[in-house]
Chain A
Amino acid sequence: MAHDVPSRRLRSPTTEAPAARYALMALALLFLALFLLLPLAAVFIEAFRKGTGEFIAALGEPDTLAAIRLTLIVAGISVPLNLVFGVAAAWAIAKFEFKGKAFLTTLIDLPFSVSPVISGLVYVLLFGAGSALGPWLKSHGIEVLFAVPGIVLATIFVTFPFVARELIPLMQEQGNGDEEAALSLGATGWQTFRYVTLPNIKWGLLYGVLLCNARAMGEFGAVSVVSGHIRGLTNTMPLHVEILYNEYNFVAAFAVASLLAGLALVTLVVKTLLELRYGADIAAGRKH
């Protein structure tokens, strides 16, 4: 009698009853399906609504190709610049103790709390016709606004913090020990960075660049304000999506959108793989 199993099965005190558990899981999945998965699926379904032929034809439009080209150019300029800035800022902030460091960190995060439209607006105010710089630029034939430089600037503004904020916590966590060891062994500053620091932060860096790039290619509000929406000239892919959509050219709009959604998916997959494989190497930066 003493050796049998208690007849009442008791569940662990740190879990919910199965009914509550399934209800919560169902609720979470339904919510994610309605708000995240269905919209994602809708992009591809709408894009292929009239078949693959239409889809390819839509992407082959000269204006669409121009938009793709412009988006690549803008990301190609702004991401490397923000990469260099991110590494420099992270080096200064993570490796040294100096006055005003907390303030500097706050400033770097600033673009995250500014509406994208305002990010565009500040450049319009700076370079526009009504500004101090505007007439001077115009008389020298330099176009910033409603041209590629303006789009690049606005993109840099909104993607500014991504690399830095991945690297700063990561490098802070890693400390200065490795670098001090390298320097004591006679390495120069550059060698120390190249052979000691960089290998330690490479996955975190890649992670930051990935997020930065996704945002750079997808930015809409800020770019919309400074671009002037000139077809074939100053339309990036997201802006082109808007124009096509407003022209009720839904298949083309969703076709271009599906390219961007594909980019987002690739970003998510690579990001997840990085987290799975190199979780510890990017962990410090993961806590947004």
Chain B
Amino acid sequence: MEVRVSKIRKEFDRYPALHDVSLDIRSGELIALLGPSGSGKTTLLRLIAGLEQPTLGRIFFGTEDASLKTVQERHVGFVFQHYALFRHMTVAENIAFGLKVRPRGERPPKAEIRRRVEELLEMVQLSGLEKRYPNQLSGGQRQRVALARAMAIEPKVLLLDEPFGALDAKVRKELRRWLRAFHDRTGHTTIFVTHDQEEALELADRVVVMSQGRIEQVGSSDDVYDRPNSPFVFSFIGDSASLPVTVGEGAVRLRDVPLGIAPRGGDVRSGEGTLFFRPQDVTLVTDGGPALEGRVATSRRLAGTRIADLDIGTPADPHHVEIEVPLDADATAGTLIRFRPTRWKIFPAEG
């Protein structure tokens, strides 16, 4: 089932949470809504589920206009951040709930419900725990019960709100791989919300990066990491350094000093801009050619590399950037280091 979000606007008490957001999700895709808190990612997910109503715009499931349907009619599987299990029901009762509340004519017979519950328990690898209460399960187990419960209604779309947010790091990693395998097996269109970029990049087919109620970029993990299309995405995903530069006559300058790089691709061609690059995308310059120049303030060893914190500015205009330096280079405090970015992007200066 493909999902199409068309020019959705959502206001809470006239405060806009989403500004005219449009998004096409392909059938069977596993997609991540990634952004800092307040970016509108959870609101978008809840709008797709029908838990909220948009102020403007429409949502389509396939060719069907889902905006006209209540949450009950949409048949979405929703997994909540804090699981939202019914604590007075056993695991089996929780999973069976969605089937038992169907109108009499559509309700499967009891034996059928029992069979389905067993099947789902097996699918989430919790067979044998059907008589337990949620309170008697670990966080990871609760999460899988919540997933099984959502799957029981054979949803058209599976929606997960920060599905691993409340789990500790180790369980989170396990469950992440498990969810990917689960998705590949069942093939449901799955949308999940996260603020953890590692989670989004590892798990999703495509990542939707959101900020302040807008979609900044939609793309594969490679797209958003290697080809970020906005200063926000560049700085939000992965480590990066940024510097205010002037572009003109085919050269990039910091305080009138040429950096030895030329604007290319979608870079700003003239005027003020902001240069972004990642710490690992630099090369040290030892031949005296044009380069960025700074003194090492501190440096630290990080696994197989060394990270140097360079003091690049003047007292009147201070700047710091972090770059990776080879392990054999001298990076003691006070050392002068000259380098040039090898991959970068120059965005127009803001304001």
Whether A and B touch (Cβ < 8 Å) is answered with: yes
Query: With the chains together, A13 CA to B52 CA distance in Å?
Result: 8
Whether the Cβ atoms of B50 and A4 lie closer than 8 Å is no
Query: CB-CB < 8 A to B56: which residues of A?
Result: 3-5
**A7 and B68 in contact (CB under 8 A), knowing A2-B7, A2-B57, A13-B50?**
yes
Residue contact A6 to B70, C-beta cutoff 8 Å:
no
Residue of B at shortest CB range from A6? B67
Do B7 and A3 have beta carbons less than 8 Å apart? yes
Q: Considering the complex, which residues of chain A in the window 37-95 have a beta carbon less than 8 Å from any beta carbon of chain B? A: none
Q: Are B68 and A2 in contact (CB under 8 A)?
A: no
Using A2-B7, A3-B7, A5-B56 as known contacts, say yes or no to A13 and B67 having CB atoms under 8 A apart. Answer: no
- Category for how many chain B residues contact A: 10 to 19
Asked if B6 is an interface residue, CB under 8 A from chain A, the answer is yes
**Seed contacts A3-B57, A10-B53; 19 additional CB < 8 Å A-B pairs:** A2-B7, A2-B57, A3-B7, A3-B56, A4-B56, A4-B58, A6-B54, A6-B58, A6-B67, A7-B68, A9-B53, A10-B50, A10-B69, A10-B70, A12-B52, A12-B53, A13-B50, A13-B71, A13-B72
CB distance from A55 to the nearest CB of B (A): 51
Does A8 belong to the interface (CB within 8 Å)?
A: yes
The 3 closest A-B pairs by CB, nearest first: A6-B67, A2-B6, A13-B71
Closest to B22 in A: A2
The answer, yes or no, to whether B51 is at the interface (CB within 8 Å) is yes
Which parts of B36-58 form the interface with A (CB within 8 Å)? Answer: 50-58
- Is B68 within 8 A of A8, CB to CB? yes
Q: Which of A1-45 contact B (CB under 8 A)?
A: 2-10, 12-13
Supposing A13-B50, A13-B51 touch, asked if A6 and B68 sit within 8 A by C-beta, the answer is: yes
> Which of chain B's residues have a CB closer than 8 A to the CB of A7?
68
Please report the C-alpha to C-alpha distance between residue A3 and residue B19 in the assembled complex, in whole angstroms. Answer: 12
Q: What are 28 residue pairs bridging A and B, where the CB atoms are less than 8 Å apart in the complex?
A: A2-B6, A2-B7, A2-B57, A2-B58, A3-B56, A3-B57, A4-B56, A4-B58, A5-B55, A5-B56, A6-B53, A6-B54, A6-B58, A6-B65, A6-B67, A7-B68, A8-B68, A9-B53, A10-B50, A10-B53, A10-B69, A10-B70, A12-B52, A12-B53, A13-B51, A13-B70, A13-B71, A13-B72
Least distance between A16 CB and chain B CB atoms (Å): 14
Beta-carbon contacts of B6-34 to A below 8 Å, as 1s and 0s? 11000000000000000000000000000
Chain A minimum-CB-distance residue to B4: A2
